[in-house]
Structure 1
């Protein structure tokens, strides 16, 4: 089985913020993970990440916020999207 895209989405907000989601199903787990997904989720401005989720090789599942980087308990693509969008909603409510 080859890697196959599950989600690919990009939205630009009126204030210049960007939301981008890329999730792939992969034949073998990415190093540091136990599930068959490779993903990167970004919210921020060009050159400035505010919120990010990814499973970079060897780092495993983690998220980036203004407080730094922390482990993320991945349970599936739907929950990943829910958590990411909730973080963005909180961030945008502070504008």
Structure 2
């Protein structure tokens, strides 16, 4: 049986102690609740404190966390996923 293959990983530590970590895997079968062949975990926050996160865990499918809110996320492509996540991180950090 084919295994998951990591296709993207990036991690950044901000001077204020915040962490941004993005990992995307190509999976042999869609994660339960998603209709594409990727598993992803995008995180922004501090140790023990999530501020923004996008992921697709089995059963929940594609969704995002922004502060205390959790909502369904409509996955379009990897490029849109990363752009949406980074835009939310920028807003959270006080940007646009």
Shift of residue 2, structure 1, vs aligned partner: 2.7
Please report the RMSD computed on the Cα atoms of aligned residues, expressed in angstroms.
Answer: 1.0
Write the mapping of 1:1-95 to structure 2, written as runs, cut at 5 A: 1-93=2-94
In structure 1, runs of 5+ residues without a counterpart are none
In structure 2, runs of 5+ residues without a counterpart are none
Give 4+ residue runs of structure 1 displaced > 2 Å after superposition: none
Give me the whole-angstrom Cα distance separating, in 2, the residues matched to 1:89 and 1:65.
Answer: 12
1:13-42 Cα distance to aligned partner (Å, 9 max, x none): 000000000100101000011000000000
**TM-score between both structures, scaled by the size of structure 2:** 0.93
Give me the whole-angstrom Cα distance separating, in 1, the residues matched to 2:77 and 2:7.
Answer: 12
**TM-score between both structures, scaled by the size of structure 1:** 0.94
Give me the whole-angstrom Cα distance separating, in 2, the residues matched to 1:66 and 1:34.
Answer: 26
